[in-house]
Structure 1
Amino acid sequence: MATTHGKSVHRPPGDRTRICETTPAPEGRRERHGWRAVLRRDRVLLLLGVPGLALMLLFHYVPLLGNVIAFKDYQPYLGIWDSPWTGLKNFEVIVNGDQQFLNALENTLIITVLQVVIIFPAPIALALLLNSLLSERLKRIVQSVLYLPHFLSWVVVVAVFQQLLGDAGLLNTFLRQHELGTVNLIGEPQYFKSLLVSQVMWKDTGWATILFLAALSRIDTTLYEASAVDGASRMRQLWHVTLPGLRSIIILLLILRLGDVLSVGFEQIVLQQAPVGAEASEVLDTYVYNNGVLGGSWGVSTAVGLVKGLVGVALVLGANKLAHRFGERGIYQK
């Protein structure tokens, strides 16, 4: 009689075969061993991820501690901890409806609606158009051309638009040469929001199509063949096969977009704010910068930024819960 893990195993006399059957280890012990094995197996990949994780902690999570300034009368020469507490006084600019704040909020909401309505569907339409190209070589060439603007900084993008649409740009030079008058699209407040939307669309639409093209490649081609046999037209296939295949990624990206719903492009706007004035161009991000960094109202600016972040979190959580109710995965499971 032999024992394995505390249990007796009977075998005939003279049987010298080695006992290979063992009782399973306790659940907790096996799970701990499994985690150690996974960590040991993936140690190289985990070590490669350490610098990125450190940068995220350093520049995204550690600065969150500075939100305590929203509840203080922050003075740089006193420091964060020695500055006097003011409670919720810095939030009065939001509650009482300061005119400058309301103007920034209105501009932010208008630009956000324009970006969600116009810019968000643009990569979907572009991905569908690219996917319809029969020539793979032509498709790769078009994709490469459309991706390039994403790698340009906003300084370069703004300079390109000024050279094309500014008062002394290519368009007005052509109009002057043919005595057709001039149209100054750069620097006019009434065109500013449309200008922002067009710049974002030109810069980022091509890059955003990557996810939708990847999702399109995962749709089973037999679904198209079956629908074609049933007599479905191209529009019917688009509505009943393609769009349902893209639904999960569309909902995911839309939920993530809601997290940045009050962030509409700080660098892009700051570079073009001076010619059009604050009334047409001030948004919440530039409000925080102009009043905090430049104006010295650190507490008020931090309070506005804190509320903006909390609104983004609330929108993401609410939209994700709504997606779960409609049977979608969202950004995380229940």
Structure 2
Amino acid sequence: MEQRKLGSTGLAVSAQGLGCMGMSFGYGPADQDEAVATVHRALELGITLLDTADMYGPHTNERLVARAVAGRRDQVVISSKVGSEIDGTGAMTGRVNGRPDYIRRSIDGTLERLGTDHLDLYYLHRVDPEVPVEETMGALAELVTAGKVRHLGLSEASAASIRRAHAVHPLTAVQTEFSLFTRDIQTNGVLVALRELGIGFVAYSPLGRGFLSGRIRTPDDLPEIDFRRIAPRFLGENFDKNLRVVHGVVELAKEKGITPAQLALAWVLAQGQDIVAIPGTKRRGYLEENAAASAVELTAADLAALDQVAPPGIAAGDRYPAPAMAYLNG
């Protein structure tokens, strides 16, 4: 698979990584043996970037990644995240915590769970509105100096926060949701800032949380315990409006002889060589389908047709419930 550089700090990864969250969290039950086999297949296909976070589980996803890469640590770039607060009992509090003491404590747990002495890329999961980003970034920079972390990033940060953080320590990557349904970075100054500063971009949920795969036709297609059942884009009239957009993507994919997921992923990858996508899956079949999107070439006419079907702002409904929306673009 094609390799791309994330920013100007020397980190090279596969153009597609693997989002591991759904193997443990958010999208209903998962077969752990199949999840491990999916990671192994990803490595066989040349996928080198594995994305996790301490909050996924909490903690269980990092352990699963460790199990999957045992004996293969030198073949992968592992990214994890910190800042979605987990209390002393291992439970999520629903708050964001960017305090330096919390950052310093959290990294050791992440390294232990991942079974490694260093993390390749460490993101601040959300910017804490009560802590200056410079203070949080200073603590993260200490981890680089200590050799516990190689590269630093932010997730769902505003252009202003990106600039302030980068002034403290060079950022390698910024991770934000980005797909035909979610194109905020193209209009809110984030992509402009990244390219001006030489920071790479990692697109999570490039398939619109599975909507753009064309496989979700009704909310009943979602598992009973699934984050999307409370996500506004999958509720009521919003679902119906978004499904009409998906129908347009499905038709364009048929014309090209590929799947809707491959078309949606190819669109993300076509937005720049500084962009890496991390579609998530817990099954080898979907992984192989996604990986094949890297070979899809989109013409100017294809891109124009997609812009007509899914222009910026077309998605109905917010990405998250209201409490989580408050921490976006922080």
Q: TM class, shorter-chain normalised?
A: under 0.3
Judging by fraction of residues, say which structure has more strand.
2
Judging by fraction of residues, say which structure has more helix.
1
